């Protein structure tokens, strides 16, 4: 039996209610990221990482607008609901930046924190796109699937930056410090 409830003159499934809740969650998360990404970029010493974070900030601002489009599609006002998971990830990122030395070590920490954020977003947008498709919200599903692909690309870029330079520089710095201690 399909569970539904009446709301604003239309039947609403429990899945639709969950979809709206998750949409509010990611909307809050994206808006919070528009404040966190500039701090991460400011703390990055690698020009490549700084640029990637700045570019992702612009992409995130556009994603906020895309999520607002999804709210329009479902006839709801765009409103966020505090995302405890994203708040925790942002707090962890801030702590990592405070606890690490400026340079390759901090850059590696920023990448670590940013990838945790990306993975959360990948999970969220994957779920939202699937919910939208199941609900027959094809336009919303398309928008959400597009954001999902952007998040996957951002994650891959961070991996490339880490592997090509940052992690190697952090390791070399560590090995150099060990040699000095001997």
Query: Which tens digit of pLDDT belongs to each residue from 129-157?
Result: 999 999 999 999 999 999 999 999 999 99
pLDDT at site 8: 38
Asked whether residue 46 is domain-assigned, the answer is yes
Asked whether residue 181 is domain-assigned, the answer is no
Residue of 74, 73, 75, 90 lying closest to 28 (CA atoms): 90
Helix axes 47-73, 104-134, angle to 10 degrees: 20
CATH number of domain containing 92: 1.20.1260.10
Asked whether residue 180 is domain-assigned, the answer is no
34: exposed, middle or buried (Cβ count in 10 Å: 0-12, 13-18, 19+): middle
The whole-model pTM stands at 0.87
Cα 64 from chain centre: 11
Asked whether residue 21 is domain-assigned, the answer is yes
Asked whether residue 176 is domain-assigned, the answer is no
Domain count, the chain: 1
Q: List, in sequence order, every beta strand (DSSP E) within the chain.
A: 4-7, 10-13
DSSP string, 65-131: HHHHHHHHHTT--------HHHHHHHHHHHHHHHHS-TTHHHHHHHHHHHHHHHHHHHHHHHHHHHH
Asked whether residue 8 is domain-assigned, the answer is no
Say how far apart CA 171 and CA 182 lie, in whole Å: 17
- DSSP 3-state of 179: helix
Query: Which tens digit of pLDDT belongs to each residue from 19-55?
Result: 999 999 999 999 999 999 999 999 999 999 999 999 9
Quote the domain boundaries for residue 167: 14-171
pLDDT more than 90, % of the chain? 83
Asked whether residue 53 is domain-assigned, the answer is yes
């Amino acid at each position: 039996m399909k569970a539904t409830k009446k709301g604003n003159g239309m039947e609403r499934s429990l899945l639709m209610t969950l979809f709206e809740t998750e949409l509010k969650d990611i909307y809050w998360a994206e808006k919070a990221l528009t404040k966190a990404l500039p701090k991460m970029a400011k703390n990055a010493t690698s020009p490549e990482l700084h640029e990637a974070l700045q570019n992702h900030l612009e992409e995130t601002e556009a994603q906020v607008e895309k999520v607002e489009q999804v709210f329009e599609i479902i006839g709801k006002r765009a409103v966020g609901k505090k995302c405890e998971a994203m708040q925790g990830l942002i707090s962890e990122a801030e702590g990592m930046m405070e606890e690490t030395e400026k340079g390759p070590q901090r850059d590696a920490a920023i990448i670590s924190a940013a990838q945790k954020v990306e993975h959360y977003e990948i999970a969220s947008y994957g779920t939202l796109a699937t919910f939208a498709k199941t609900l027959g919200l094809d336009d919303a599903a398309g928008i959400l699937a597009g954001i999902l692909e952007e998040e996957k690309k951002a994650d891959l870029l961070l991996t490339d930056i880490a592997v090509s330079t940052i992690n190697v520089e952090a390791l070399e710095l560590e090995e150099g410090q060990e040699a000095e201690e001997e």
